[in-house]
Amino acid sequence: MIHPRHTPSDTGAIRLSILVPVYGVEAWIEACARSLFEQTLWEGIEFIFVDDASPDGSIDRLGRVLAQYPARVAQTRILRHPQNRGLAAARRTAIDAARGTWLLHVDSDDLLRADAAASLLAAADTRPQADLVFGGYYATEDPASDAPHRWLRFAPPRGQRDEILRALLTQSHRVANRTWGILIRRTLCTEHNIYPIEGINFAEDYAVMPRLVHAARAIATVNAPFYGYRVARDGSYMRRLDDRAATQYAAACRVVTDYMKQQPDYARWRESLLLGRLNIEKWILKRGLDPAAYDTRLFYDGDRPHRLMQRLYAAAIESGTPFLARLAGLATNLLHR
């Protein structure tokens, strides 16, 4: 079906760049692309897809969908990596190419509600100081067709910037590790040199979000599920709960720790960072791996827990008993302020 219903006028400045990495998503890229091209926002928007040397027919399918939306062709760029470099590198390529005031990451097996772009930008307009705008999201096996009664709805994080940052640093998962579905002011990345780290393709969002939140002047939220997240599929990074995933999670933690230790307010966040390292070790233990094998990667700087509850938590993890580690973790996270 051809969609010629709107021809954008001269848009002038681009307000929003929607950034989409593409690799091995032949089964899902069509639904994703349609949800983007059918946004109610028509002017001041661009779509940047990065073909990370996808081995299947993803780009051909994307091209067929784009041909059905002729009014979007001039707004769309498809960039290509000659060889596969991973999710983080694809996102970095998209950020470098973006021209919008705002960035919006969308994974190519997910989708956006039709009013997502317009609603998030409207929220940004009400908070001129905001550098990040969080919307809610929903998770389901097939966001393109599952009825709303099958959705798991997730509200945007509550609280001010410092509360959100503390939750991210502790890795308590009260705030999800995600860059997708969030408006990010482009200058927040460029002026503070905050980008995805090539080679970290698991927990890549964790390597980025605490740094963005720390650098942000203010945060705005919209309590509506604008983003449809596809529950982890076979072959996705979220399914690779193995040594490589744990190693990359530890590497992401080091990126965050190194960044925070360079900040003048580091002392304020030190305990949250230490708790975050312990929570990652517990995550490793729960997945049947030996946390001792990753200890020197997480505590590479010799900075060890010294408060009683964190030391007891560390001992429970070292015991290798997931049940004890879980109980100690619940208590330590509950008492942390």
Predicted pLDDT at 34: 98
Confidence label for 145 from pLDDT (cuts 50, 70 and 90): confident
Predicted pLDDT at 241: 60
Q: What is the per-residue pLDDT across 34-77, written as a single tens digit (0 to 9) for each?
A: 999 999 999 999 999 999 999 999 999 999 999 999 999 999 99
Domain chopping of the chain, boundaries: 16-237, 242-335
State how far the Cα of 254 lies from the Cα of 262, in Å rounded to an integer: 12
- Rounded to an integer, the average pLDDT of 306-320 is 96
pLDDT cut 70: percent of the chain above it: 93
**In terms of pLDDT, which residue wins out, 141 or 196?**
196
Confidence label for 143 from pLDDT (cuts 50, 70 and 90): confident
The amino acid occupying position 272 is S
Has residue 5 got a pLDDT over 50?
no
- Rounded to an integer, the average pLDDT of 169-193 is 96
Handedness of CA 252, 253, 254, 260 (dihedral sign): positive
To the question of domain 16-237 being in CATH 1.10.1050.10, the answer is no
**C-beta of residue 89 within 8 angstroms of C-beta of residue 23:** no
Predicted pLDDT at 276: 98
C-alpha distance from residue 205 to each of 82, 182, 198, 262, 314 (Å): 24, 12, 12, 20, 25
Predicted pLDDT at 13: 92
State how far the Cα of 214 lies from the Cα of 161, in Å rounded to an integer: 8
- Rounded to an integer, the average pLDDT of 153-159 is 90
For the chain, first and last CA: distance in Å?
55
- Rounded to an integer, the average pLDDT of 121-127 is 97
The pTM for the full model equals: 0.92
Predicted pLDDT at 151: 84
Predicted pLDDT at 158: 87
Mean pLDDT, the chain, rounded, equals 93
Has residue 11 got a pLDDT over 60?
no
- Rounded to an integer, the average pLDDT of 143-170 is 89
Ramachandran assignment for 279, one of left (phi > 0), alpha (psi -120 to 50 degrees), beta (any other): alpha
- Rounded to an integer, the average pLDDT of 231-250 is 72
Confidence label for 233 from pLDDT (cuts 50, 70 and 90): low
Has residue 240 got a pLDDT over 80?
no
**C-beta of residue 269 within 8 angstroms of C-beta of residue 260:** yes
**In terms of pLDDT, which residue wins out, 143 or 263?**
263
Q: Where are the beta strands (DSSP E) in 216-292?
A: 218-230
C-alpha distance from residue 208 to each of 56, 200, 278, 280 (Å): 29, 11, 19, 16
Has residue 234 got a pLDDT over 70?
no
Where is 184: in which H helix or E strand? Answer: strand 182-185
